[in-house]
Amino acid sequence: MKNLYEKFEEVISYLIFGGLTTAVNIAVFFLCNTILGMNYLVANAISIVVSILFAFFTNKKYVFKTKTPTFKESFLEFIRFCTFRLLSAVFDMLSMWILVDGIHFDANVAKIATQFIVVVLNYGFSKWFIFKQRG
């Protein structure tokens, strides 16, 4: 069992912290849209920013466990992370717009639906482009 965990530790950790990031994203969206009455696209943008910040620190420390010895390397890693997360955010925003305004889904249902693909995109971006051990 231990060998199996060690073999899939990164994926298991990503599922846990990706799940928490998704929960943060959906909770902030629900708070902003449903509770505070913000426009769903504004609420979505806010939820994306909050979840990007949460995800960067948890992915760096607990999932990919990268070490960046200098501020410059850490900053560049953060910029790469934000750049790729903004790519998935474009997908998220377009999907929300299509699902809510085009197909007339409930905004909360649309938000949950989009997150399945966003999680997969973000794992790929993080694994192959952002948190690579360099050197």
Asked whether the beta carbons of 78 and 33 are under 8 A apart, the reply is no
Assigned token pair, 3: 């060998």
Give whole-number Cα distances, 61 to 2, 23, 43, in Å: 21, 19, 28
- Give the CA radius of gyration of the chain: 16
Confidence of residue 124 (pLDDT cuts 50, 70, 90): confident
What is the spatial distance between Cα 90 and Cα 134, in angstroms, rounded to a whole number?
A: 28
The model's pLDDT over 61-92, given as tens digits with 9 standing for 90+, comes to 888 888 888 999 999 989 988 998 899 999 99
Q: Please give the residue that has the higher pLDDT: either 116 or 129.
A: 116
Q: Which amino acid is at 21?
A: T
pLDDT digits (tens, 9 = 90+) for 90-119: 999 999 999 999 999 999 999 999 998 888
How far apart CA 46 and CA 28 sit, in angstroms, is 8
